[in-house]
Amino acid sequence: MKKNFTLLLLLLASLGLGAQQFVTTEPQKRNVLLEEFTGINCQNCPSGHLIANQITSAYPDRAWSVNIHSGSYAPMYYPNFNTDDGEAISNGFNISSWPKGVVNRSTAEGLSRTDWGPHAGAQLEQDAECNVAGQVFIDAETRTASVTVEVYYTANSSVNTNYINVIMLQDNIMGPQSGSSANPEQCVNGQYRHMHAFRDAITPTWGDAISPTTAGTLITKTYTYNIPQTIGSPNGITVDLDDIYFLAFVTEQYQNVPTRPILNVNKLVSFQGSSQAIYPYISDVMIPTAYCSNDKEIKVTVTNGGMQSLSSMKFQIYVDDAMVKTHDWEGNIASHNISYVEIPIQIGAGEHDIMVKIVEANGVSFETSKTVSLTVDEWSEIMTSSEEENITIEVMQDKYGLQTTWELKSSDNTVLACGGPYGYLPGSTATELHQENVTIPAGECVKFTIYDEGGNGICCQFGDGYYRILDSNDNVVVDGAGDFGSEASHLISVVYSETQTNTIEATICEGEDYTENGFNVINPEVGYHEEQYTDDNGVLQILKLTVVAKPEVVIEGSTQIFEGESVTLTASGAETYLWSTGETSATIVVSPAETTTYVVVGTKEGCESEAEITVNVTVGIEEVFVNASIYPNPTEGELKIDCKQMREIIIYKPNGQVVEQMVLNADEYIMDMSNYDSGIYFVKIVSESGDAIKKIVKM
């Protein structure tokens, strides 16, 4: 494959002539690249994929794997992963059996998969001679990638010339794979999800020469790469811009070819953009966990993919399709740069889809969005007027106590207390109670989790077990049944208050008011609300109110029929329906004898909304046939009427309304209906031999 790239080399020694933009100058340990030689028809290769995944998962942001398909196990049918660069690299390490791999090119030939882990661990402990970093900007419209790589030497390389290598990988390529059951995590609906597949080398196969390679040297190189639509011939694979990423690594040289070992490797920051002036997009949305609180902070990663700096943006936040907040941001994000916007929001307990949308940038309308899922756990509260609270944890074990453990963690994941495993009890349904007292500081949120290794809880046929948590006044805060399966968790908030409090949780529908318990919340917006006041007895009343959006119910169906005809009416927008006819399905068939209005009430998440539709029934106009011809029918505009001795032509709507009336004396007439609305009309012809009435359809 022909590559189009330009080079810019900046040599900046330790004289302060320039500064790095991406790479750190601090000494680092060596990162790892595992080049895994594989193939679709290789029965044992998925077990190699699994080992590679375990290595990269164990060392995030320090270890990467690339799958290079080559040799007799890499067929040419779809998906054809074979590339000239991949074949050259495979031959360079004398690969003749699969799966094999090289770790940081530290060996002359490929290693068996059982050796990858130890070699990776040894490499990760070594000091790196250089650091590597950079970014890739992809113009999504032209599919042009602008690659910047920086190398900073923290120590001397053993040779005067090193090589920068930049490769492109692609994830989520679906296709066949022999032996796929060995790696079930990549099996999807009968196919195999091929990950981190080698797609192309942006630099020459064995790298782009750089020097000097002495401590304190900064080298910057830029490349322009045209990303192909497909790679591979025949049966090439589409290159999806959303699934590609780039690795850069530096190698020395051993006996000319191939270049090895790898001194360091890193993943390049990659983002898409456009030649448009304004082109922001949301790269990521993170909502950090905040236990025992509905107050969340959404961290939005915004990439400025446009040519103009971003100085302002307007955000809209949607929770389960209902907009709950707008947020105006001002600042500066330079072209082709990334920044973060933090947006505070309140979200009630439950599973939610959170959509963050940009609707305006630099005062200009612009729309882009990203949706993430979030689970907000409910929690129990213990009110205390002391600096700490003493709780009691009770666990009634079943027969198999050896399977049961529990732990209590603070908000910073410190284990405050733990229990189990317990003993094995004689008797088929034996139980035994265990208690432990724990002191929790006021203001803390703790998480209690109980586990059962057997996966069947602490109950049922092996004994009626349970677990409870009591406060210092012996009030039951958590009351857990034993049939929790593998595990169950509960959050507890210890709230310090000098005054007595009463918490009220309520749910209403959009458009309703909440006027109970001394509160007067009028027509609140959809979402979560919290209000409070102190009553006449000095009790702090706290209202946690969830407002659910009403469903948007619509009805589809014809509104005009003739007497004796039927029409199908279909409602949508809700979960359940109740029609004015008494029917409860989404679709009904009606045949009214006269014009009738039908009403449906739709219900979704306990909230109702209604819609109506009127079906007009045409009665009283009958077609009368004499010696008359009217055509074409249906017509798009021109209507030809033939009838002897016509005296008058009258056009009616189905409800009897006269649309047009013409007096004439002719045997034929051409009428222009192009300005008529589409629908049904009646043409009445008055002639010497009698009247004729004909139904026509205007398209």
Distance in angstroms (rounded) separating the CA atoms of residues 196 and 411: 36
188, part of any domain = yes
Q: How many angstroms separate the CA atoms of 333 and 327, rounded?
A: 17
Domain contains 3: no
- pLDDT surpasses 60 at 4: no
Across the beta sheet with 560-562, the strand order is 560-562, 607-618, 596-604, 576-579
**Cα(485)–Cα(450) distance, rounded to whole angstroms?**
10
The DSSP code sequence of 497-550 is: -SS-EEEEEEEEETT--B--TT--B-SPPSEEEEEEEE-TTS-EEEEEEEEEPP
Q: Is 70 exceeded by the pLDDT of residue 120?
A: yes
Residue 481, domain CATH: 2.60.40
- Residue ending a domain, among 361, 376, 391, is 376
The tokens for 385 are 């007027």
Q: Is the dihedral of CA 589, 590, 595, 598 positive or negative?
A: negative
- What is the predicted pLDDT for the residue at 38? 98
491-534: pLDDT as tens digits: 999 988 777 778 898 999 999 999 999 999 999 999 989 899 98
Tokens of 649: 């032509």
Q: Is the pLDDT of residue 205 over 60?
A: yes
Q: Could you tell me the CA-to-CA distances from 545 to 322, 504, 505, 516, 522 in Å, in that order? A: 16, 8, 6, 12, 12
List, in sequence order, every beta strand (DSSP E) within 399-475: 404-409, 415-419, 432-441, 445-452, 466-470
Pair (367, 466) in one structural domain: no
Rounded to 5 degrees, what angle do the CA atoms 247, 250, 255 make?
130
> What totals of helices (H) and strands (E) does the chain contain, helices first?
3, 49
Which has the higher per-residue pLDDT, 225 or 383? 225
What is the reported pLDDT for 81? Answer: 98
Alpha-carbon radius of gyration of the chain: 37
- Under a CB-based contact definition with an 8 Å cutoff, are residues 348 and 399 in contact? no
Considering only CA atoms, which of 251, 231, 256 is closest in space to residue 92? 256
Q: What are phi and psi of 368, to 5 degrees?
A: -155, 150
Which pLDDT does position 309 carry in this prediction? 95
Chosen domain end from 358, 376, 394: 376
Residue 32's closest CA among 59, 69, 68?
59
Which of 20, 8, 21 minimizes the C-alpha distance to 223? Answer: 8
Distance between CA 259 and CA 255 in Å, rounded?
8
Is the Cβ–Cβ distance between 118 and 182 less than 8 Å? no
DSSP string covering 181-206: GGSGGGEETTEEEE-SEEEEESS-TT
**Distance of alpha carbon 251 from alpha carbon 88, whole angstroms:** 16
Placement of tokens 């190189």 in the chain: 221
Q: What is the pLDDT of residue 9?
A: 35
Contact at 8 Å (CB) between 267 and 64? Answer: yes
Question: Tokens 């009435």 — which residue?
Answer: 693
Q: Is residue 18's pLDDT more than 80?
A: no
Element (H, E) at 56: helix 45-58
Task: Check whether 34 has a pLDDT greater than 70.
Answer: yes
With the C-alpha atoms ordered 51, 54, 58, 63, is the resulting torsion angle positive or negative? positive
Q: What are the two backbone dihedrals, phi and then psi, of residue 462, each rounded to the nearest 5 degrees?
A: -110, 10
Same domain, 92 and 160: yes
Exposed, middle or buried by CB within 10 Å (0-12, 13-18, 19+), for 144? Answer: middle
Token readout for 577 is: 């329906």
- Looking at the structure, tell me whether residues 194 and 47 fall in a common domain: yes
Q: Flag whether 4 is in a domain.
A: no
Q: Above 50 in pLDDT, residue 11? A: no
Residues 468 and 397 in one domain: yes
The domain that holds 675 is classified in CATH as 2.60.40.3080
What's the confidence (pLDDT) of residue 653?
A: 81
Are 170 and 286 in the same domain? Answer: no
At residue 146, what are phi and psi to the nearest 5 degrees? -100, 110
pLDDT tens-digit series, residues 541-561? 889 999 999 999 999 987 877
The H-or-E segment that residue 92 falls in is helix 84-92
**What does the alpha-carbon distance between residue 236 and residue 230 come to, in Å, rounded to a whole number?**
6
Q: Is the pLDDT of residue 237 over 60?
A: yes
What is the per-residue pLDDT across 145-202, written as a single tens digit (0 to 9) for each?
999 999 999 999 999 999 999 999 999 999 999 999 999 999 998 999 999 999 999 9
298 and 431 within one domain:
no
> Which DSSP state fits 635?
B
Q: Tell me the two tokens of residue 201.
A: 């080398």
What is the token pair recorded at 428? 């088929």
Residue 213: both structure tokens together: 């390679």
Q: Are residues 63 and 175 in the same domain?
A: yes
Q: Are residues 558 and 679 in the same domain?
A: no
Domain count across the chain: 6
Query: Is residue 1 domain-resident?
Result: no
- CA 222 – CA 349 distance, rounded (Å): 49
Give the type of residue at 34. L
pLDDT digits (tens, 9 = 90+) for 684-695: 888 888 888 888
Identify which has the larger pLDDT, 389 or 627: 389
* Per-residue exposure over 303-322, b if at least 16 CB sit within 10 Å of its own CB, e if not: bbbbeeebeebbbbbbbbeb
Cα 170 versus chain centre, distance: 19
Count CB atoms within 10 A of the CB of residue 336: 17
Does residue 206 sit within a domain? Answer: yes
Residue 383 token pair? 């009110």
pLDDT band at residue 281 using 50, 70 and 90 as cut-offs: confident
Q: Whats the size of the chain, residue-wise?
A: 699
Task: Give domain status of residue 659, yes or no.
Answer: yes
Tokens of 338: 């990334």
- Do 367 and 323 fall into the same domain? yes
Query: Is there a single domain that holds both residue 470 and residue 539?
Result: no
Residues 6+ apart with CB under 8 A from 46: 177, 178, 179, 180, 181, 182, 183, 186, 192
Per-residue confidence (pLDDT) for residue 13, from 0 to 100: 33
The beta strand positions in 171-278, using DSSP E, are: 173-175, 187-188, 191-194, 197-201, 208-210, 218-226, 230-231, 237-238, 244-251, 262-267, 269-273
Spatial separation of the C-alpha atoms in residues 534 and 515, rounded to whole Å? 16
Shared-domain flag, residues 300 and 349? yes
**In angstroms, what CA-CA distances link 81 with 75, 76, 682?**
8, 8, 67
Which amino acid, one-letter code, is at 438? V
| Packing angle of the helix pair 45-58, 116-124 (nearest 10 deg) | 20
Max avg pLDDT among 75-89, 247-261, 326-340, 586-600: 75-89
d(CA 673, CA 639) in angstroms, rounded, equals: 7
Bridge partners (DSSP) of residue 479 are 468
- Neighbouring CB atoms inside 10 A of 166's CB total 25
- Does 307 map to a domain? yes
Same domain, 53 and 196: yes
Percent of the chain with pLDDT over 90: 67
- What tokens does 679 get? 């629908």
Retrieve residue 271's tokens.
């983002």
Average pLDDT value for residue range 299-315 = 93
Question: In this structure, are residues 433 and 396 in contact, taking their beta carbons and an 8 Å threshold?
Answer: yes
Q: Is residue 623 part of a domain?
A: no
Please identify, among 455, 474, 496, the residue that sits at the C-terminal boundary of a domain: 496
Tell me which residue range forms the domain holding 661: 628-698
Q: Could you give the 3-state DSSP secondary structure of residue 331?
A: strand
Contacts of 106 (CB under 8 A, 6+ apart): 119, 123, 260, 261, 262
Tell me the CATH number at 143: 2.60.40.10
